[in-house]
Structure 1
Amino acid sequence: MGIDNPKELVRRGYDALSLRYDQAYGAETKYQSWIRELSGRIPAGGTVLDLGCGSGVPVARALSAAGHYVTGVDISDVQIRRARELVPQAEFIRADATAVDFAPASFNAVVSLYALIHIPLDEQLPLLRKIAGWLRPGGWFLGTTGYRAWTGVDEDWLGGGTAMWWSHSDAATNRAWITQAGLTVEEEEFVPEGEGGHALFWARRR
């Protein structure tokens, strides 16, 4: 079902389960240490792009509260509508992350947490190259990727009666792609989730 158009499956899934997703993953409290670390690494009043911003909580809200200027992009209409309500001080764009464009060197940081894993494999390196171009010299990319290679569907995602699709390569391939995109990986860690997990990368544009 829907695998001919996996992005549509992702969009519909988040449209249907936006609220359930935030509840299931503790939107109010997740990523706090990463967000604080990022805020400290970029200039005061810095510009941040949140690719796959979801409901705007917690990344856009926390970084906006810290005085940064945040632009969020998400494929889901419902997520973007909620983000505009929850984080009115940020700017949000309803779009496919692989289709948006920004001027070169527009951002001090680009954040993409648990979003690249919903993008077809052959579109991930081109997107990472665009991300590198959008960053200012010295700017940071903070992103999560797959840890083990897997592509597939959960037909009853979060027990909500809606399908969700993922596609990701392994950590070594993701590290290579980030490097090929023109970024330098500064830190990498394994983030456990259930019986598996994801890779977290801090990378910098030189």
Structure 2
Amino acid sequence: MPSDADAIIKLYRRHAQAYDRLRGRELFEKPWLEAFAALLPAGGSILDIGCGMGEPIARDLIGRGFPVTGIDSSPALIAMGRERFPQQEWMVADMRTLSLTRIFDGLIAWDSFFHLTPDDQRKMFSVFREHAAPRASLMFTSGPAHGEAIGECEGEPLYHASLDPEEYRALLHAHGFRVVRHVADDPACNGHTVWLAQRE
């Protein structure tokens, strides 16, 4: 499975147009986005980690009056975001090595962080901490339990991994975040497992 994990970046670069076409815009994520936004100061800055082309997540947050900085490993997806939302900041970057020397009021990694291997996920909590302002909110999706799984994108294997929920809790605590809300397999969010935390 690690070989499938290593292929994620190239896969999204190859299939950027297909991903843009297939990614739903119905915003089933809205209740979680509202909870995330409620923890932010008015006009607070947001770092969207694995932003894709900025739809529908960044679009919703921009519409709420938050400036968004989006990072993604696919140049084509970043170009789409830049074209659609030119007032925002869009950068091609690998989240695993991200170091912007800036802090943000909110960080979100929706359906992106879980493509990393378990070891890379553990290392990401230092990245989250490095970019989090005091009281910053952090929201990400994971799997419901420890393990690896292979999905499919345009006929190619699509890697996913998850740590155990207790390990996520421990990592959040160790990096100065408290869990605000966590729901596994949320039926109101298309079965997503979501973590919402805030830096203490």
Match of 1:129 among 126, 130, 133: 126
What letter is aligned with 2:66?
A: H
Residue 78 in 1 paired to residue 76 in 2?
Answer: yes
Q: 1:174: which partner in 2?
A: 168
**Equivalent of 1:139, from 127, 136, 141?**
136
Separation of aligned partners in 1, 2:121 and 2:2: 17
Q: CA deviation at 1:149?
A: 2.0
Q: Which runs of 5+ in 1 are unaligned?
A: none
The whole-number CA distance in structure 2 between the counterparts of 1:69 and 1:122 is 31
CA deviation digits over 1:136-175, x for unaligned, max 9? 1111001111212222434xx24x2223222222322222
CA contact (8 A) 2:142 2:193 kept: yes
CA displacement 1:78-119 (0-9 Å, x = unmatched): 221221122222111111101111225x11110111111111
Deviation of residue 69 (structure 1)?
Answer: 1.3
- How many matched pairs? 198
Aligned 1:35-184 pairs, distance under 5 A: 35-103=33-101, 106-154=103-151, 157-158=152-153, 160-184=154-178
Q: Say what the alpha-carbon RMSD is for the aligned residues.
A: 2.3
* Inter-partner Cα distance in structure 2 for 1:29 and 1:189: 18
Give yes or no for contact 1:178–1:184 (8 Å, CA) kept in 2.
Answer: yes
Aligned partners of 2:65 and 2:161: how far apart in 1? 34
TM-score normalized by structure 1? Answer: 0.84
Q: Identical aligned pairs, as a percentage?
A: 26
TM-score normalised by structure 2 residue count = 0.87
Q: Any stretches of 5+ residues in structure 2 without a counterpart? A: none
